[in-house]
């Protein structure tokens, strides 16, 4: 008799055709219970999917003469106890499993449900080797063809399976949803086991790749993962396409990064960079888009005279690294969380130059840092805490740094402590703004600034240019946003000390309103600002280091002592340009 195409709801076994009453009875026996049958489209069942290995199947792998569909996995008699009516020989493979420094799960060998899938997908068992037949069913490809579907014995580049996804795991990892909040279409085991069947339904290919949830907007991934800041992040809402260089020629399912979501950077199976299942290493991923075509060109900024150059430190960054012991390096993800990063706020340039506080910015959402007290934190709350990860207690070696009379060996955190003798108002509000007559009205109106006020790309769009914002690179030494000469015998000009003159009025400085010998030193003596003043802050007695006084030992010699004698008064003992001063006293 002729039978219409049918779908079994549980288990989801389907027939392409039932050529006889016996074939129909076989289908009922395979289910093992009274079945409820409903009409089904081909993509909702095994029939006409890639799992249809019969001679009439549509996929690249098919039998040479076998017309039955279900036999490749199921049999009504003599089945394996691994699962109801299971007709295959499970592999005996010992798999190399996924490993990552950031996973909190205990990952073991794949469980029974996953091994059912791997009986085809690890390539060790012939596709036509079934329990119900004495002879192997001949197919045009006896084993699964080489490709992404052939997982082989190395599962380290695949999403992990063989672990329990329970409340204890969710409590250890705050970026995982509690199992009770996971979409019910994700199928976990009785004890919370996560296996291949959690995401894949072998009998239903309606969504493609036999997935249980859609891929658009990362719906499948976000069913379990709850990444901090993702929904409001720039990448989750970007209408830009994913560059073909990033996908290595793979045709992604959707046109925009927002639609591809997690799949823009991550691969569930066969990841090129296995740890965290990345398509590439972090820097290569970022620069694939931030090359000036899809997004702002960061590569141009980092290639300037000074800057952070992550291309030199591939594979050194680890999200779980300890800032007290990590190897010196820099990577995009040291400062930016790709899941949470946002565009800089409009109009930020004005507030930046005028010291809009030490708080972290949109581009630095949900990144780790080191507090002013020197304590590592998983989430930096202020801009300088991000910088302190590398520029604090284990400062990056810099042979070009200025050696000072009181030297903290590059430990910028110490220079900005509240106990510092004097410091720019980066970590705390300005304490003596009234004692600095040279401050411009805009600078005086803001009590604080941040690291990016001085360290920035000179061509950043927030500074009026068209380049990437932030301390990626600069054509000036020390990654500065503007020119700041530190060489002795520099001719004074608005350009030579452009960085200082952003906040300090040049007319006031040269008019000796702060110090009666500013003009003599800077113009006549051609002594740079840096000869007497340090840029960040200085520890030690406030009486000897007020007003950021900390001499450059390559320019200033002798005893090098400054004594603050009150408002706009002081005494110096030092040797500079061959002239020796002993208790040289000045007053306004």
**Of 528, 581, 532, the residue nearest 553 (C-alpha):** 532
Distances (CA, A) of 538 to 79, 405, 420, 444, 534: 78, 10, 6, 21, 7
Q: Give the single-character DSSP code of 431.
A: S
Helical (H) or strand (E) element with 455: none
**Residue 447 class from Cβ within 10 Å (0-12 exposed, 13-18 middle, 19+ buried)?**
middle
Residue 562 has pLDDT above 60, yes or no: yes
Determine the Cα–Cα distance for residues 402 and 40; give it in Å rounded to an integer: 76
Q: What is the pLDDT of residue 38?
A: 39
Q: What is the pLDDT of residue 8?
A: 37
Q: Quick check: 339 and 235 in contact, CB under 8 A?
A: yes
Residue 1 has pLDDT above 50, yes or no: no
Residue 483 has pLDDT above 90, yes or no: yes
Q: Give the single-character DSSP code of 460.
A: B
Over residues 210-234, the pLDDT tens digits come to 999 999 999 999 999 999 999 999 9
Over residues 77-121, the pLDDT tens digits come to 878 776 779 999 999 999 999 999 999 999 999 999 999 999 999
Q: What is the pLDDT of residue 360?
A: 63
Question: Pick the residue with more confidence: 84 or 517?
Answer: 517
Determine the Cα–Cα distance for residues 46 and 206; give it in Å rounded to an integer: 10
CA angle 70-72-74, nearest 5°? 55
Least reliable range by pLDDT among 143-147, 466-470, 473-477: 466-470
Percentage above 90 pLDDT, the chain:
73
Q: Show contacts of 244-248: CB within 8 Å, 24+ apart.
A: 245/288, 246/279, 246/280, 246/285, 246/288, 246/289, 247/279, 248/272, 248/279
Joined tokens for residue 280:
């590439």
3-state secondary structure of 490: coil
Average pLDDT rounded to a whole number, residues 457-477: 92
Q: What pairing do the DSSP bridges indicate for beta strands 14-15 and 6-8?
A: antiparallel
Residue 519's Cα: distance from chain center in Å?
A: 48
Determine the Cα–Cα distance for residues 239 and 10; give it in Å rounded to an integer: 40
Q: What is the pLDDT of residue 346?
A: 45
- Look up tokens 């030092």; give the residue: 574
Joined tokens for residue 573:
């003992």
Q: Quick check: 10 and 31 in contact, CB under 8 A?
A: yes
**Residue 407 class from Cβ within 10 Å (0-12 exposed, 13-18 middle, 19+ buried)?**
middle
Joined tokens for residue 130:
């079934």
Contacts of 396 (CB under 8 A, 6+ apart): 328, 390, 410
Residue 124 has pLDDT above 70, yes or no: yes
Length of the chain, in residues: 588
**Residue 159 class from Cβ within 10 Å (0-12 exposed, 13-18 middle, 19+ buried)?**
middle
Determine the Cα–Cα distance for residues 534 and 539; give it in Å rounded to an integer: 11
Q: How would you write 506-551 as a 3-class SS string?
A: HHHHHCCCCCCCHHHHHHHCCCCHHHCECCCEECCCHHHHHHHECC
Rg (CA), the chain: 33
Q: What is the pLDDT of residue 498?
A: 98
Contacts of 259 (CB under 8 A, 6+ apart): 216, 217, 253
422 beta partners: 538
Q: Quick check: 279 and 266 in contact, CB under 8 A?
A: yes
> Helix, strand, coil % (nearest 5) of the chain?
25, 15, 65
176 beta partners: 225
Question: Over the chain, what is the mean pLDDT?
Answer: 88
Determine the Cα–Cα distance for residues 256 and 481; give it in Å rounded to an integer: 34
Contacts of 566 (CB under 8 A, 6+ apart): none
Q: What is the pLDDT of residue 31?
A: 39
Determine the Cα–Cα distance for residues 150 and 144; give it in Å rounded to an integer: 6
Joined tokens for residue 132:
């119900």
Question: Pick the residue with more confidence: 465 or 434?
Answer: 465
Q: Quick check: 314 and 281 in contact, CB under 8 A?
A: yes
17 beta partners: none
Q: What is the pLDDT of residue 82?
A: 67
Edge-to-edge strand ranges of the sheet holding 579-587 = 556-564, 569-576, 579-587
Segments making up each domain of the chain, as ranges: 235-312, 332-587
Determine the Cα–Cα distance for residues 297 and 583; give it in Å rounded to an integer: 53
Q: How many CA atoms lie within 13 A of 464 on its CB side?
A: 4
Average pLDDT rounded to a whole number, residues 539-558: 95
With cut-offs at 50, 70 and 90, classify the pLDDT of residue 171: very high
Residue 155 has pLDDT above 90, yes or no: yes
Q: Quick check: 253 and 208 in contact, CB under 8 A?
A: yes
- Look up tokens 């190897």; give the residue: 327
Distances (CA, A) of 346 to 155, 235, 296, 342, 466: 45, 18, 16, 12, 14
Over residues 303-345, the pLDDT tens digits come to 899 999 999 998 899 999 999 999 999 999 999 999 999 987 6
Least reliable range by pLDDT among 40-49, 134-143, 479-488: 40-49
Q: Quick check: 18 and 3 in contact, CB under 8 A?
A: yes
Distances (CA, A) of 249 to 243, 245, 269: 9, 7, 16
Contacts of 141 (CB under 8 A, 6+ apart): 60, 61, 127
Contacts of 375 (CB under 8 A, 6+ apart): none
Average pLDDT rounded to a whole number, residues 299-304: 90
382 beta partners: 359
Q: Quick check: 101 and 46 in contact, CB under 8 A?
A: no
3-state secondary structure of 502: helix
193 beta partners: 164
């Amino acid at each position: 008799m002729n039978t219409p195409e049918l779908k079994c709801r549980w288990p989801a076994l389907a027939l392409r055709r039932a050529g006889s009453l016996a074939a129909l009875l076989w289908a009922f026996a395979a289910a093992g219970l009274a079945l409820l049958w409903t009409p089904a489209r081909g993509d909702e069942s095994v029939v006409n999917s890639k799992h249809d290995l019969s001679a009439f199947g549509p996929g690249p792998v098919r039998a040479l003469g076998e017309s039955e569909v279900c036999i490749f996995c199921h049999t009504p008699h003599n089945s394996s106890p691994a699962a109801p009516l299971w007709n295959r020989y499970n592999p005996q493979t010992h798999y190399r499993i996924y490993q990552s420094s950031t996973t909190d799960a205990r990952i073991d060998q794949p469980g029974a449900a996953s091994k059912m899938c791997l009986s085809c997908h690890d390539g060790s068992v012939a596709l036509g080797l079934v329990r119900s037949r004495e002879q192997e069913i001949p197919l045009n490809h006896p084993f699964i063809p080489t490709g992404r579907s052939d997982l082989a014995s190395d599962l380290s580049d695949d999403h992990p399976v063989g672990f329990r996804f329970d409340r204890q795991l969710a409590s250890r990892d705050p970026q995982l949803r509690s199992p009770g909040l996971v979409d019910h279409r994700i199928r976990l085991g009785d004890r919370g086991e996560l296996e291949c069947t959690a995401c894949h339904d072998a009998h239903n290919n309606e969504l493609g790749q036999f997935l249980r949830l859609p891929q658009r907007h990362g719906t499948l991934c976000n069913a379990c993962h709850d990444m901090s800041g993702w929904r409001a992040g720039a990448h989750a809402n970007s209408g830009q396409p994913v560059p073909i260089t990033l996908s290595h020629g793979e045709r992604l399912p959707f046109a925009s990064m927002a639609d591809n979501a997690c799949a823009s950077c991550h691969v569930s199976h066969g990841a090129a960079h296995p740890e965290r299942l990345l398509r590439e290493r972090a820097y290569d991923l970022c620069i694939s888009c931030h090359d000036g075509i899809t997004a702002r060109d960061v590569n141009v900024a980092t290639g300037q005279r000074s800057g952070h150059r992550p291309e030199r430190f591939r594979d050194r960054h680890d999200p779980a690294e300890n800032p007290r012991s990590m190897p010196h390096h820099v990577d995009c993800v040291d400062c930016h969380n790709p899941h949470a990063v946002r565009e800089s706020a409009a109009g930020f340039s004005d507030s930046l130059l005028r010291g809009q506080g030490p708080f972290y910015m949109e581009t630095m959402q949900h990144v780790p840092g080191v507090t002013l007290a020197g304590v590592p934190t998983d989430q930096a709350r202020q801009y300088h805490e991000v910088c302190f990860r590398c520029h604090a207690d284990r400062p990056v070696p810099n042979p070009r740094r200025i050696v000072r009379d009181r030297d903290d060996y590059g430990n910028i955190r110490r220079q900005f402590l509240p106990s510092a003798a004097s410091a720019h108002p980066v970590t705390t509000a300005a304490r003596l703004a009234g004692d600095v007559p040279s401050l411009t009205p805009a600078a005086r109106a803001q009590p604080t600034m941040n690291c990016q006020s001085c360290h920035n790309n000179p061509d950043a769009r927030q500074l009026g240019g068209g380049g990437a914002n932030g301390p990626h690179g600069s054509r000036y030494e020390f990654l500065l946003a503007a020119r700041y000469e530190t060489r002795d015998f520099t001719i004074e000009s608005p350009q030579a000390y452009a960085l200082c003159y952003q906040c300090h009025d040049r007319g006031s400085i040269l008019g000796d309103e702060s110090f009666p010998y500013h003009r003599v030193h800077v113009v006549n003596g051609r002594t740079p600002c840096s000869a007497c003043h340090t840029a960040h802050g200085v520890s030690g007695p406030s009486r000897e280091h007020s007003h950021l006084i900390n001499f450059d030992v390559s320019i200033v010699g002798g005893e090098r002592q400054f004594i603050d004698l009150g408002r706009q008064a002081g005494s110096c003992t030092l040797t500079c340009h061959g002239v020796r001063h002993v208790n040289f006293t000045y007053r306004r």
